[in-house]
Amino acid sequence: MGYQVYDVSMSIHEGMPVYKNKPEKKPLIQVVQDFETSPARESRIQLDVHTGTHVDSPLHMLPDGGTMETLNIEKLTGTCRVLDLTEVKNGITRSDLEGKGIEKGDFVLLKTRNSDSESFDFEFVFLAEDGASYLASLGVRGVGIDALGVERSQPGHPTHKILFKAGVLILEGLRLKEVPEGEYFMVAAPIKLKDTEAAPARVLLFKGLSVTG
């Protein structure tokens, strides 16, 4: 194989970290049929649509926003850029992003100290309002972050709203610890749900993959 694959998705299990450690957000996985009673095993899962690595749709924060099926799946595939922001302690601001060479149409993945921990940190690094405004002004197609939320402690959720109103996709819950800064080919595939404001996703990054068409 002439390329490297990074699986930057969170594993879904009952003990996984969830937003603010809320018990009601924990997935529930039940074996409903096993080999004691049947020739086949089957399980059932109860899952919040914002569980683990997931894509948000505008309806998450905008009452008139679109649901998951309104998103363009083509924007969730293609080249992306991992930005090393592990030195940032709090909110990622415009000054943290300037000089990174971000261009129109980029899908930027924000690698922070969040990826170093497998538990929920109430002081997680997030994208600050002015950082979101800067990325929206550049015309990026999407923003991903290694936290279960792209923002925290901002009244009115301006980061989400700025990005959504600019048509920027939001990808949360990435695991980027092992991924060096640089350019990759990304496949971010949310579960094909209808009428929801988010969906869990499997996200793969490919390094050295040659795609021709």
Q: Give pTM, 2 decimals.
A: 0.94
Chain-centroid distance, C-alpha 164: 14
**pLDDT tens digits, one per residue of 76-116:** 999 999 999 999 999 999 999 999 999 999 999 999 999 99
Instruction: Give the three-class secondary structure for 137.
Output: helix
Residue written as tokens 């550049």?
138
**pLDDT tens digits, one per residue of 27-65:** 999 999 999 989 999 999 999 999 999 999 999 999 999
Q: Cα 157–160–164 angle (5° rounding)?
A: 140
Mean pLDDT, rounded, of the chain: 96
Kindly list the domain boundaries of the chain, sorted by start residue: 4-11+49-207
Mean pLDDT on 148-177? 97
> Where residue 165 falls among pLDDT bands split at 50, 70, 90?
very high
For residue 213, pLDDT over 60 is answered with: no
CATH class of 4-11+49-207: alpha beta
Token duo for residue 109:
């993945």
> Where residue 211 falls among pLDDT bands split at 50, 70, 90?
low
Instruction: Give the pLDDT score at 2.
Output: 82
Q: Cα 177–28–149 angle (5° rounding)?
A: 40
Instruction: Give the pLDDT score at 212.
Output: 58
Helices (H), ranges, 53-183: 94-97, 129-138, 158-165
Which amino acid is it at 89? K
How many of the other CB atoms lie within 10 Å of CB of 55?
28
Sort 87 into a burial class: Cβ within 10 Å, 0-12 / 13-18 / 19+. Answer: exposed
For residue 127, pLDDT over 60 is answered with: yes
**pLDDT tens digits, one per residue of 170-192:** 999 999 999 999 999 999 999 99
